[in-house]
Chain A
């Protein structure tokens, strides 16, 4: 009898002892009940990383702005780069709402928007709040530019509440109000502080918004209001007259591995330290995507520019590239072209021995002008297309992380936007003067006159492969035209990207853009 009692007691004891409340206890993360120690500065670093991650690399945003234009193409070289037609459909403008990179860019930008908004929930200082709001405005601008519909969450804590959808000019008004509200609280940095959101960065973004306002109102037939152009000009003057920025003598210093020191034009850049501390391992993609297997660095041999685009440059134009000597670069005894547009015979940049292709291994590695969207001739597959390297490759850092800061806003862009605004207001002379100032610095001859076509061309030469080509082509009404390896678009639908079907499926406040299923 007493045995039974003993055991029942023991059992009861053990049962009670082990009754728990079943709350999850986190050991390597913080949950919503333990956020008291989280500071805004930690979240702000994450917000910077988040938006930088959206831009850097040859997929997603960069490809949606570049491969879709007349300045680049991602040809299918037999086995290489077929990728289910992803790159071809970008250049041909034949994408649909399931396109991996268009969907990736949209989701990535909105994720960055969330990260920036989240900073505001954690008692940021005035400047931290201003920086976060700048980053949020920047990501919203890009969503507006590509997709027109920008979901905006008013209440970040309750995910079940659907975000409202701001469209077109609503977004413009929102961004303008935001940037004006925070202007006073942002630091007043020059090129050395370009990695932190600053006043001139906010001004440059405002310029973009005003310049494109007419486009956002009507992409098929934009009109440019004089008042908006005045805003662009006055903001440009504030930046230029601050005296902080000058045009670089050496164009590629703006993009070099140590551009945080060398660039005198940088207004706002994404910080890359060359280590996993800050930065993305995707910057190397900008070289790898064009570089051939036998070059140094050995790349993925793919993307190139189009010969018509290459022909826009005069022979003396330094922006065409050439021999760029930089510390810790390869010896390059033959002073071969290692930045800008790579055409013709390529060389081993250490031994100066001319390189051959991989297949056929006897063919000299000589990049040709002409490239087709589908290369099928086995003898020339690897060789076609002029390659473009905008960011000189960083050979110093161990591994995938590169030091080149990604340039978002710079002086030349601001000057060109001012020139464009003047031009649209009718001041051809004023516009021409600015363009010639830039051209002089870049080794190109003076232009005699300037019209809208010329303006677009100059923007192409200056800002190639910096993610602005699509925006420029739409604003100048050229986006739907035919160019090399692309037919003209039927209808206007492609002026906007489709809202990704994976977001349409879950957000009833979004509607598909016209012309897409």
Chain B
């Protein structure tokens, strides 16, 4: 026709070509992808150690950027290109594995856990670092290594777990306070507790739990960390030397403990349940006489009165088996761009003393998001809400001659019935003395309740400006409100309140805010040089307020006096309110970690702190530090030494500060009384923070295929400008003034930590861990001496047993020397008739020891944790002034006073002397656990079932004769805290718990 056949042919060819050009690639692609999709691989990923499933592990074909993750049961299904030969399986705690999938449709992968040691990432101040890059003394304790059992606060989880860290439970009261010392006490007067940082939020160290008012209610301040749920904690980092803590500046001198809570994990949502139920009993009872022994003693001493014909054990009557229940549930899940964890916990702990009870409900939500396509914008949000509700037993250390519940029970005449015959109420019998208090009456007529509500909320947006540069902002608010109410019934024969009764209401609030900006830069600058740097600005404010009312003269109508305070008499009422001056801290800080070829490491930090507390003339403090480390194993000359896997030498120096003195100390202040004003102090405008300079040298090593690893550290810490409330030259207001002393406090020592994977096989593993620290403490350059260590009891008014004085350890004992009992008179013999006192030893432990072992056989695991302290002396004030021989005839005495070589005279006056100064060495089985991994319960969906039986405080090996050598009764005098006094404390308890963990 019009187009020739030749042209037609050509056009057809063109069209074909065109079509070919367009569609062939499509076809090819399609066919290729068909080819690529043409096989599916499934499988299961488990932990090689115990065959437990590994959830959330990433599964990718090698070379591909996309993949899948394993589900909660460890299984995965992935579509791979036809030619794919290898899958790469990776998960955070395990070594990455590549598995061959050539001609396979199913593979099972057993991942090997990363060896403990230098490959972890640890949290350090304001950032994270690889453990191998650290130059400071930092110890990381993971949740699996925490002490097992039921605890109220996080510090108990690491007791005995870290070298150089001393944790003492001051009393056996549930939720009671603890003393924590990292590398010894460096402050004489101001706080010695370390700084706690919770997910980047520095805590104030205080709590809103009000103190009691009037009467002799428990004086223990409680543990300020009680609002945290130990079950929520994933790990804790303990920063010990200045090159690690200097970035915390004027709050880092006592060490820093960083608490990291558990975060959401990627994967499908899962629920974990942890529940346990247990019982607590008194760990040790002091030996006093029973009725028969008492009667015999009366005969032996020719005492005609004191036998009332009965037979009772008063201490048994005030103790009980306390039920401990702990329930925790957490839900977590998420994806790469959004993870969450919601946990709720409820702890209900009855103490071993009747009426004491702690209940705690916590809820914790944390979420982590990444926004934008580039995932550069991050947002973390945390919300923690807790309520602690306590019924507190009336056990105080600051009591008059009528004692507290424990002394009343110990001293009760075993031949006098406790219950009035014909009734069921406590027998207040004038025959035993008008002022002798029946312990059952004390229990029945005292009430003391405290409720504290805490919220910690934080928001942290972050932005990755480039791959190396990230900006992060952290804003947090910590608000805590506490109330406490108590009453003493008018029926109790306690002289100040007999026939009158007394009640108080107290409340306290604390609001702390934080604003922290950081800019971090993390780049491999050259193949040999890696830089991890951060600069930042932080602004903290602390605000608190308290008030109370206290009154007397109530009537018994069956209601609590503190609920109708208006009935009280006008004349007896006392009211008080106080708002602390707001404390603000403004800081700039910077850190750089330089890594050269993984061989040489250099860290430098600098912080400038300004505080409202410091005097006019010194508002800002500057805290630098520098640390170097050498990874010896990376050197060529070490390539032959195959048995050494890692060897690192560290050296660091830094300056940190301590600003724990009351606000207002730098200014002249005027306080209010009723219609009156008085000047309370002279202010010191030159007041500065206390400064500690620490030098630390350490070795980290790992040998024999990482089977044996550990560290050795030597530290030398000198604290100058020691904050001190010194006697001021009279005439003056208040008698004291805050100054920085000319002297200094020295702490030096050696810490050794070891881990040994003794046995690792298919069915069995055996691991040991231990740490030991040797500490030496002394005070130098102080003019004169200062007394502390208030010893109490009948015949012990105005007695101080400790001194702070140059040339001696802090709080050295200063007592008269006991030489024995006189054979003829039965009276105590003292050196120089007791007119001279001598320095008699230190209450500061010289050696700390922690030891743990765990053994796994197939599905069974046994773990033990022990800890001990040595080289110190405790004053047994309970034995000294509560159970003396002079009580015979009216009250009970200690059993050990009878049957000795010399018969002690009834009239031998109890006096503070070395007779009751005892060695405090002890080794404690802190907890032991047997666990059985049941695994998954068939098709029910219940997975990872674990059963465990745990015993806490099982036994103590010690020569100390008091309740528990782990004790620190409050005996502060003149503002100087004491150490090592035991005075009728809430007794320690032994707890056995049975628990179940499982997931859905």
A residues adjacent to B (C-beta < 8 A):
3-4, 7-8, 10-11, 14-15, 18-20, 22-33, 35, 38, 42-43, 45-46, 49-50, 59, 76, 78-86, 94, 100-101, 106-107, 110-111, 113-115, 117-118, 151-153, 159, 162-163, 274-278, 293-294, 297-298, 300, 358-362, 374-378, 381, 397-401, 501-503, 505-507
Contact = CB atoms under 8 A, between A and B. Distances in A.
Contacts of B734: 111
Given A4-B465, A24-B581, A297-B495, A503 B730 contact: yes
A80 B553 CA distance: 31
A397 B909 contact: no
B910 A82 contact: yes
21 contacts: A7-B465, A11-B471, A14-B517, A18-B539, A22-B619, A24-B612, A24-B613, A24-B664, A25-B582, A49-B673, A78-B908, A83-B797, A151-B731, A162-B729, A163-B729, A293-B433, A359-B305, A378-B889, A397-B571, A399-B500, A505-B783
Interface stretch (B236-244, B326-334, B678-686, B940-948): B678-686
Contact of B886 (A8, A29, A78, A118): A78
Contacts, number: 265
B824 interface: no
B727 A503 contact: yes
Contact of B571 (A10, A298, A398): A398
B905 interface: yes
Contact of A49 (B584, B676, B682, B795): B676
Interface stretch (B443-451, B572-580, B958-966): B572-580
Contacts of B401: 300
Contact of B586 (A22, A114, A378): A22
Interface in B583-627: 583-584, 586, 610-614, 619
A383 to B, nearest CB: 13
A100 B787 CA distance: 11
Interface string B125-164: 0000000000000000000000000000000000000000
B890 A80 contact: no
A393 to B, nearest CB: 13
A100 B729 contact: no
B383 interface: no
Given A14-B473, A29-B671, A42 B732 contact: no
Contacts of A25: 581-582, 612
A79 B886 contact: yes
Given A23-B612, A24-B612, A275-B571, A361 B581 contact: no
B423 interface: no
Contacts of A79: 794-795, 881, 884, 886-887, 909-910
B10 interface: no
B733 interface: yes
B735 A111 contact: yes
Nearest to B668: A32
Contacts of B881: 79
Interface in B266-321: 301, 303-306
A360 B305 contact: yes
Nearest to A507: B729
A402 to B, nearest CB: 12
Given A27-B581, A28-B579, A31-B670, 15 more contacts: A4-B465, A20-B584, A22-B619, A29-B581, A45-B676, A49-B673, A85-B835, A110-B731, A114-B730, A293-B433, A361-B305, A361-B431, A376-B907, A398-B500, A502-B784
Interface string B892-925: 0000000000000111111110000000000000
Contacts of A360: 303-306, 889
Contacts of B515: 14, 18
Question: Residue among B430, B537, B679 with the most chain A CB within 10 A?
Answer: B679
B577 A7 contact: no
B434 interface: yes
Interface of B: 301, 303-306, 376-377, 401, 430-431, 433-435, 463, 465, 471, 473, 495-496, 500, 515, 517, 519, 537, 539, 545, 552-553, 569, 571-572, 574, 577-584, 586, 610-614, 619, 663-664, 666-680, 682-683, 726-735, 737, 783-784, 794-799, 827, 834-835, 881, 884, 886-887, 889-890, 905-912
Contacts of B301: 378
A27 B729 contact: no
A318 to B, nearest CB: 31
A36 B836 CA distance: 52
A18 B586 CA distance: 9
B784 A376 contact: no
A308 B500 CA distance: 41
A80 B907 contact: no
A83 B795 contact: yes
A286 B583 CA distance: 44
A111 B729 CA distance: 10
B729 A26 contact: no
Describe B's contact surface by its main secondary structure. Answer: loop
A225 B580 CA distance: 58
A206 to B, nearest CB: 22
B580 A84 contact: no
Contacts of B794: 79-80
Contacts of B672: 28-29
Nearest to B906: A378
A400 B797 CA distance: 19
A377 B886 CA distance: 11
Contacts of B553: 398
A11 B462 CA distance: 11
B678 A50 contact: yes
A153 B733 CA distance: 12
A293 B434 contact: yes
A412 B558 CA distance: 54
A56 to B, nearest CB: 16
Nearest to B680: A29
B732 A114 contact: yes
Given A24-B581, A46-B673, A506-B728, A118 B834 contact: no
Contacts of B669: 26, 29-32
Question: Residue among B586, B728, B909 with the most chain A CB within 10 A?
Answer: B909
A278 B726 CA distance: 30
Nearest to A45: B676
B673 A78 contact: no
Given A46-B677, A46-B678, A80-B795, A118 B496 contact: no
B218 to A, nearest CB: 21
Contact of B889 (A7, A276, A294, A359): A359
Contacts of B886: 78-79, 378
Contacts of B677: 30, 38, 42-43, 46
A38 B670 contact: yes
Contacts of B471: 7-8, 11
A76 B909 contact: yes
A201 B909 CA distance: 45
Contacts of A84: 796, 798-799, 911-912
Question: Residue among A293, A300, A362, A398 with the most chain B CB within 10 A?
Answer: A398
A113 B586 CA distance: 41
Contacts of B666: 24
Contacts of A277: 674-675
Contact of B580 (A27, A85, A100, A506): A27
A277 B517 CA distance: 51
A24 B584 CA distance: 8
A363 to B, nearest CB: 8
Closest CB pairs A-B (n = 4): A110-B730, A27-B579, A505-B784, A376-B907
